[in-house]
Structure 1
Amino acid sequence: MPSELSTDVLIVGAGVAGLWLNARLRRLGYSTLLVESATLGGGQSIKSQGIIHGGAKYALHGALTGASEAIADMPRRWREALQGSGELDLSGVRLLSEAHYLWSPGTLAGNLTSFFASKAVRGRVDQVKGEQLPPALQDKAFKGKVYRLAELVVDVPSLIARLAALAGDSLLRGEQIQPWHDGAGRLLGLSVDGRPIAAQRVVLSAGAGTEALLAALGIEQPAMQRRPLHMILAKGDSLKPLYAHCLGGGPKPRLTVTTHPAANGQWVWYIGGDIAESEGVARSPEQQIATAKKELGQLLPWIDLSQVQWATLRVDRAEPAQSGLVRPDNAFLAEQQGLLVGWPTKLALAPDFADRVITSLQQAGIKPGNHAPLPDLPRPLPGTPAWEQLLP
C-alpha cells in the first residue's frame, strides 16, 4: 500500500480554476496537492475560447447585469498576472490578442446606445477603423462597425503549461479517488489510487467530474447542471486572425470568433456565440457546419472558405444548478462537511474562485502547517487542444 501523505489543501481537478487556486495557495505558503484523473486542463479549460471577459457581452441588451458587474475587474487582474506583476506570475503565457472586438455587420441596433453608456463598458470601448481593424475584417468590402473592448484573449495551452510550472511538485495523477473518513465518519482527506492523503481541507474543482465525486462522497448538494454548446472549428490558409463578437438582433452575440495557432502553422477559427447554443445543440455536426458556412459566407463574403477544414465540438459547461438552466453570475463555492465544492463558471473567473476558497480557509482559521517533503509522484500530462485532435 502506498505511504500516507499529508498536506494543507488537497484539490481535485486540474483545470485552470484548480491550477490557479493551487498556485495562489502555494504563493501564500500553504502545502498543496492537486489531483487530476486525466490531463491538465483537458476538460472544459482546453475547450475554452480563452477570452478574459470584462462583462461587455452580458450587457448587449442595454442593461447592466449581475454578471457584467461581477466580472468587470477580471481583465485587469489577468493583465497584471500576464505582465508578471499580479497575484500570480504568468509572464511567458502567450497572449493571442490584446483586445476582443465587438463587430456590427450593419446598422447598430438602438438598444446599443444604452449598452455603450453602461458601467460594464464605460471608458473601455473605442471604435476602430482601417488598419486598426482585425486582419480578417481589413477588406474594402467590409461595411460594418468595429469596437475594441478592453478584454484579452489568452492561449489556453500555454496558460496551462505556466500554471503547471508554478505547481512544482504538487501535481498527482490519480484515477481512483475515494473519501477517507475516520471512525466517526469525519472526512480526513481522500484515498487516491489506494494512497491515503490527509488534508485540512479538500477542494473539488473538477468541473463536470465533480458530480461523480460528490456521489462517491455520498453528498447530494450542491447540485450541478450542464449547459451544452455545439462549437465549430475551421482551419485553413485563407483564415486570418479575428477575435470578435458579431452582433445579431438579440441579447447574445450572433457569433463569437477566436483564432488559435495550429501546430502546422495555420490558423484555426473557433466559433461560438448564439450559433452554438440551443438551436446549434440540436443540429447534427453536418447541419452545424452548413449553418456556419452560410453565416460566414454572408458576413465575410471576401474570405475563401473552399479549402477550409471543418469540425464541430460538443462542450458541456458544468456549473452549480440554477433555476431554468440560467448561467450563474459569479464563481461558486459551497462548504459541505469540511469539503469545499465549487465551479468558476467561466475561465475569466478563476481568480474569483481562488478568492472564495482563500476567504473560506481564513475564516476557518486554517493556516499553513508543517508537512514532510513530497515523494516523486506520477504527474498528469497536459491536455491536447481540440483542433489538433479534430483537424490534424
Structure 2
Amino acid sequence: MSQALSTDVLIVGGGVAGLWLNARLRQQGYATILLESGALGGGQSLKSQGIIHGGAKYALHGALTGASEAIADMPRRWREALIGSGELDLSGVRVLSEFHYLWSPGTLAGNLTSFFASKAVRGRVDQVKGDALPAALQHPKFKGKVYRLAELVLDVPSLIARLAELAGDSLLAGHDIQPIDEGDEWVGLRVDGREIRAQRIVLSAGEGNAGLLETLGLEQPRQQTRPLHMVMLKSPRLKPLYAHCLGGGPKPRITVTTHPSSDGQWVWYLGGDLAEADGVARSEAEQIAVARKELGNLLPWIDLGDAQWATLRVDRAEPAQSSLVRPDNAFLAEQGRLLVGWPTKLALSPDLSDRVFAALTRDAIQPASHPVAPELPRPPLGEPAWENLLP
C-alpha cells in the first residue's frame, strides 16, 4: 500500500494555469501537490501562440467588453514577473517579442476608427514605420500601416520549464484518479492507489476537467470547447513576425506568431479567423492551401517554395456559455472543498490564481503542518507540436 499524503491544496492539471497557481501558493507558504497525467504544458498551453493579451483585439468591434476590462492589466503583471519583481520570479523565461503588432494591409481602414476610440487600447498603441517595422514587413513592396501593441509574446516551453522549477518537489505524475469522499464531501483523491488528502482540491486541467468531473460524478460546471484549426510552417527564409492582420470584420484576418524550432529555424504559427469556423471545416490539405494563398497575397515577397507545412487541431476548453459566447475572464466554480477553474486563455492564468486565493481567504484556509512527503514520480516537460509535425 502506497503511503498516504496530506497537503493544503491539491491541483490537478499541469498547464500554465495550474503551474502558476502552484507557484503562488508555495510562495505564500502553502503545501501543494500538482498532479499531471501527461506532460507539463502538453494540453492547451503548448498549443497557444504565447501572446499575453491586453484586450486589444477585443476592441476591434469598437466596444469595451468585459473581456477587455478583465485582461487589460495582464501585460503589466506578466512583465513584472518576467523581470523578477512581480508575484512570481519568471526571470529567465524567453520573451520572443516585447510587442505584438496590429497590421492593416494596403489601404484597408477596416474598423480602425472605432478600435482607436476604445478605452481598451487608448494610450497603449503606437504606429511604427521604416526600421521599426517587424522584420518580415521591412520590404519595399509592403503597403499598409502597422501599430505596436503593449502586448508581449512568450516562448511557452521556457515558461513551462521555469514554472516547473518553481514547483520544486510538488509535482506528481499520475493516471488513475478516483475521489476520496467522506459523507457528502470530497476530501482528496486516490492517484494510482496513493491517497492524497487536501484542504482544497483545484481542477485546472483545461479540456481534461470534463473527464475529471465525470469521474467525480458531477454534471456542473459544464464545459464547452471552441475548436481551432491552426497552421504552422517552417522555412529558413522566414523572419520573425508577431501580428494580427486586419480584415474587414471584428476578428483578425490572420494572427501570426513566430517560434524557434530545435533545428534553429523559425516556425510561423497561424491563427485568427483563418483557424476558426471555415478553417475548422477544412481538411488539412485545404487549410494549408488557404493559408498559403493568404500569405501569398499579404506577403508576396516571401518565397515559401521550400516551406514545410502542417496543421494542428485545438479544442480550447472553457466554461459553457450560451451560444458559445467568449468568457469574459478566468472562471472558478466551488463545490465544498472542490474548486473547478478555467483560465479561458493563457494570459489570464494570474486572474485564475487570484480567484483561488480569494476563496481560500474567505474560508480562512491557512498553511498547515504536514508530514514530509516521499519522492514523487515527476511528469516530463511537454514540447511544441511543430517538433513532431515539422521534423
The runs of at least 4 consecutive aligned structure 1 residues that moved more than 4 Å come to: none
| Residue 384 in structure 1 maps to residue 383 in structure 2 | yes
| Residue 28 in structure 1 maps to residue 28 in structure 2 | yes
Q: Give the secondary structure class of the aligned counterpart of 1:383.
A: coil
Q: Percent identity?
A: 76
Counterpart of 2:185 in structure 1 is 186
Number of residue pairs matched?
391
Distance of 2:359 and 2:127 partners within structure 1: 42
| Residue 124 in structure 1 maps to residue 124 in structure 2 | yes
Counterpart of 1:294 in structure 2 is 293
Counterpart of 1:142 in structure 2 is 142
Counterpart of 2:152 in structure 1 is 152
Which aligned pairs between 1:194-273 and structure 2 lie closer than 5 A? 194-273=193-272
**2:91 maps to amino acid:** S
Distance of 1:199 and 1:132 partners within structure 2: 52
Counterpart of 2:169 in structure 1 is 169
The structural deviation recorded for 1:108 is 4.1
The structural deviation recorded for 1:267 is 0.2
Distance of 1:110 and 1:180 partners within structure 2: 55
| Residue 62 in structure 1 maps to residue 72 in structure 2 | no
Distance of 2:316 and 2:71 partners within structure 1: 18
Q: Give the secondary structure class of the aligned counterpart of 1:52.
A: coil
| Residue 274 in structure 1 maps to residue 273 in structure 2 | yes
Residues 171 and 378 of structure 2 are in contact (CA less than 8 Å); yes or no, is this contact kept in structure 1?
yes
Counterpart of 1:318 in structure 2 is 317
The structural deviation recorded for 1:117 is 2.1
Q: Give the secondary structure class of the aligned counterpart of 1:51.
A: coil
The structural deviation recorded for 1:389 is 1.1
Distance of 1:169 and 1:179 partners within structure 2: 23
The structural deviation recorded for 1:111 is 3.1
Distance of 1:138 and 1:192 partners within structure 2: 54
The structural deviation recorded for 1:114 is 2.2
Counterpart of 1:96 in structure 2 is 96
Which range moves more in the overlay, 85-94 or 335-344?
335-344
**2:172 maps to amino acid:** L
Q: What residue ranges of structure 1 are gaps of 5+ in the alignment?
A: none
Which string of whole-angstrom CA distances, capped at 9 and with x for unpartnered residues, describes residues 104-153 of structure 1?
A: 00224253112112111111100000110000000000011000000000
The structural deviation recorded for 1:314 is 0.0
Counterpart of 1:115 in structure 2 is 115
The structural deviation recorded for 1:316 is 0.2
Distance of 2:111 and 2:291 partners within structure 1: 26
Residues 110 and 247 of structure 2 are in contact (CA less than 8 Å); yes or no, is this contact kept in structure 1?
no
**1:334 maps to amino acid:** A
Which string of whole-angstrom CA distances, capped at 9 and with x for unpartnered residues, describes residues 87-110 of structure 1?
A: 000000000000000000022425
Counterpart of 1:364 in structure 2 is 363
Which range moves more in the overlay, 88-97 or 58-67?
58-67
Which range moves more in the overlay, 115-124 or 149-158?
115-124
Q: Give the secondary structure class of the aligned counterpart of 2:64.
A: coil
Counterpart of 2:347 in structure 1 is 348
**2:176 maps to amino acid:** Q
Which string of whole-angstrom CA distances, capped at 9 and with x for unpartnered residues, describes residues 227-253 of structure 1?
A: 000000000011100000000000000
Distance of 1:302 and 1:111 partners within structure 2: 26
**1:372 maps to amino acid:** P
**1:382 maps to amino acid:** L
The structural deviation recorded for 1:66 is 1.2
Q: Give the secondary structure class of the aligned counterpart of 2:252.
A: coil
Q: Give the secondary structure class of the aligned counterpart of 2:122.
A: coil
Q: What residue ranges of structure 2 are gaps of 5+ in the alignment?
A: none
Which string of whole-angstrom CA distances, capped at 9 and with x for unpartnered residues, describes residues 65-106 of structure 1?
A: 111111000000000000000000000000000000000002
Distance of 2:246 and 2:66 partners within structure 1: 21
Distance of 2:371 and 2:88 partners within structure 1: 25
The structural deviation recorded for 1:8 is 0.2
Which aligned pairs between 1:70-89 and structure 2 lie closer than 5 A? 70-89=70-89
Distance of 1:34 and 1:149 partners within structure 2: 34
Distance of 2:292 and 2:201 partners within structure 1: 46
**2:338 maps to amino acid:** L
Distance of 2:304 and 2:205 partners within structure 1: 38
| TM-score normalised by length of structure 1 | 0.99
The structural deviation recorded for 1:195 is 0.4
The structural deviation recorded for 1:185 is 3.5
